[in-house]
Amino acid sequence: MSADQQVADLEQQVATLSAQLETANLAHLDLQNRLRQSEGMISVLSEHTSDMTYIVNRGGHFSFVSPSICKLTDYDLDEILRAEPSAFIHVDDVEMVREAIADAFNEPGTIIPINDHRVRHRDLKWLYFEGSAICMPEESGVEGVVVSCHDVTERKQQEETIYRQANYDTLTGLPNRLMFADRLATALLRGHRERHQVGLLFIDLDGFKKVNDTLGHNAGDDLLKEVAVRLAACVRQDDTIARLGGDEFTVILPNIHGPNDTEVVAKKIIERVREAIYLGESEVYVSASIGITLYPDDSEDQETLIKHADTAMYEAKAAGRRTYKFFTANMNQAAQEKMALESELRSAIERDEFDIRYQPIIDLKTGEITGTEALVRWNHPTRGITSPDVFIPLAEEQGLIVPIGEWVFRQACQMAHNWRETGRHDLQMAINVSPRQCQEPGFEEIVDRILAETQLPPSCITLEITESLFIEGADESAVTALHNRRAKGTLLSLDDFGTGYSSLSYLKRFPVDVLKIDREFVNDVTTAPEDQALCRAVIAMAHAFSLDVVGEGVETIEHARVLRDMGCDRAQGYLISKPLTAQDLDVFLNEWPGISF
């Protein structure tokens, strides 16, 4: 091959190599350009995504942090890189995240889940994240564990809202009935395991209904919120206060040493609750009745403990309210008897087991019979004649007082009609009416219908109401109904005056015609100066209002003489007669000889 030919071949090879090199350079430049574009895209994506990505090296420090973390937490990149991951994670979640990262180091290539954990924002609020960790040693440039998490704060907030709605009272923020049951079950399990006692208190507010009815439901809500705050101040941090509904609260006292611990808390609650509560411009007072039961002394069963605490609470109310009562076995027996009596009471009307007794009332000046009071009795098939003191409160609780009251009213009106048929036009029939009856929407219509059926003038009837009508807070319908009855000629009598919260304001709001002095004061009117002074004051006050006065429980001629000398108008009691059947009353009226002092 000639020299010229060799030169030409070399030049061709150089040209080919140059072309190949140029092609390689262009490909490299293209690769670098695409890499830069990819890096830019990754940077943009990591900055604007709601996920956060970081790499933790074996020393436990950040070796890479995605820009999105800065945006999510409002911290600067340098602040994050200079700190350890634990500085930004909630103290309760640090150990869980550390274990996930350690597992990732120990199991390269395996994705390790990281459950919900809290990451701190610069303004000290907590954000929730969940994700995973993985170690990829085969990937060049990735030294450590890659952690990738996404923001689940909104989901956690929604879950928290649902949880609170299901387990907490929306008004007071206290645990509700569902959470109470869960907390009590937990306390009992712990008590069983650690062999210690648990106290359970049931609390009911006395006088709440009156505040609610008088000032409105908004004021009632404010009162309940204030009571919740006061209850919280009376217990330990580990104790549970719950609102079961209405004005009923409970307190769970775990890990106590005996009844004295519950007694201390009960006394604190009673003292704090009884303090004045200011609702706008109104100053109101309520009190607390508390029932107490102990685990395991009273029972080891959750439902039984709840029932026992409820029973003891009602005993506290019956004892005068604003007090506490420990559950006893006797209470349990009484509660069982009460339940049986309630069941029997429901069918007593259908079985025609009620009867009326009539107790005569005399004029203390003339000794003549002026009327009678109709008193209902229950002819129980096994218990015999049952006093209204036993079954009337049950009828009130069970809502049976309305049909029973209507039956009594009809029977008494029929008796008054019979009097008029036999010429006894001047006898007045006094009939007891409960607060519940007065508040029934159809109360006036029932009275008008029965009076029409028995052809009885309204003036022949006296409706006897008690101070409980005022204490329990009569609504406007009751006030209107009583005013309307009086406008139609029916007389109103205030029974048992002096035993409740007697007030002259009652006589202004409920214009009555008669005051009846309770037997409690008449019993010792001949011997006790205090009772004499009270009776004299009531009589003088009543006469100042142009009201008649009836003394109840007059059992001796001395009782009658002292009351008469004080100016009392009428008397009722065993001195005149015990309550009589309709037949015996007819005989009594025909044979009454009068009375001489």
231-258 per-position pLDDT tens digit = 999 999 999 999 999 999 999 999 998 8
The two tokens of residue 400 are: 């049976």
Domain span at residue 36 reads 17-43
Which pLDDT does position 506 carry in this prediction?
62
Residue 332, domain member (yes or no)? no
Q: How confident is the model at residue 33 (pLDDT cuts 50, 70, 90)?
A: very low
Q: CATH number of the domain that 93 lies in?
A: 3.30.450.20
The larger pLDDT score, comparing residue 408 to residue 508, is at 408
Pair 323, 360 in one domain: no
Residue 430, domain member (yes or no)? yes
The strand pairing partners of 200, in sequence order, are: 252, 293
Pair 241, 151 in one domain: no
The two tokens of residue 425 are: 């036009």
**Among residues of the chain, what percentage have pLDDT more than 90?**
56
Dihedral of the alpha carbons of 295, 301, 303, 304, in degrees to the nearest 10: -70
- For residue 385, pLDDT over 90 is answered with no
Residue 202, domain member (yes or no)? yes
Q: What is the mean pLDDT of residues 323-330?
A: 89
Specify the pTM.
Answer: 0.57
Pair 39, 60 in one domain: no
Residue 401, domain member (yes or no)? yes
Neighbouring residues of 231: CB distance < 8 A, sequence distance ≥ 6: 203, 241, 249, 251, 269, 272, 273
Long-range pairs, 491-495, Cβ under 8 A, ≥24: 491/428, 491/459, 491/461, 491/462, 491/463, 492/462, 492/463, 492/465, 493/430, 493/462, 493/463, 493/464, 493/465, 493/550, 494/464, 494/465, 494/466, 494/467, 495/432, 495/464, 495/465, 495/466, 495/467
Pair 196, 123 in one domain: no
Q: Is there a contact between 399 and 436 (Cβ–Cβ < 8 Å)?
A: yes
Pairing of strands 145-151, 428-432: unpaired
Pair 403, 486 in one domain: yes
> What rounded mean pLDDT belongs to the chain?
86
Pair 147, 214 in one domain: no
Residue 4, domain member (yes or no)? no
Residue 334, domain member (yes or no)? no
The amino acid sitting at 92 is: D
Pair 468, 567 in one domain: yes
Q: How confident is the model at residue 319 (pLDDT cuts 50, 70, 90)?
A: confident
Pairwise CA distance, residues 570 & 447, whole Å = 26
Judged on CB neighbours under 10 Å (0-12, 13-18, 19+), 31 is exposed
Q: How confident is the model at residue 28 (pLDDT cuts 50, 70, 90)?
A: very low
Pair 445, 563 in one domain: yes
Q: CATH number of the domain that 369 lies in?
A: 3.20.20.450
Residue 3, domain member (yes or no)? no
Pair 195, 300 in one domain: yes
Pairwise CA distance, residues 238 & 438, whole Å = 46
Least confident among 49-53, 174-178, 261-265, 376-380 = 49-53
- For residue 108, pLDDT over 80 is answered with yes
Per residue in 97-135, is it b (16+ CB within 10 Å) or e — as a string?
beebbebbbeeeeeebebebbbbeeeeeeebbbebebbb
Pair 192, 122 in one domain: no
Residue 82, domain member (yes or no)? yes
Neighbours of 498 (CB within 10 A): 18
**Among residues of the chain, what percentage have pLDDT more than 70?**
87
Number of separate domains in the chain: 4
Which pLDDT does position 15 carry in this prediction?
58
Pairwise CA distance, residues 204 & 287, whole Å = 8
Which pLDDT does position 35 carry in this prediction?
35
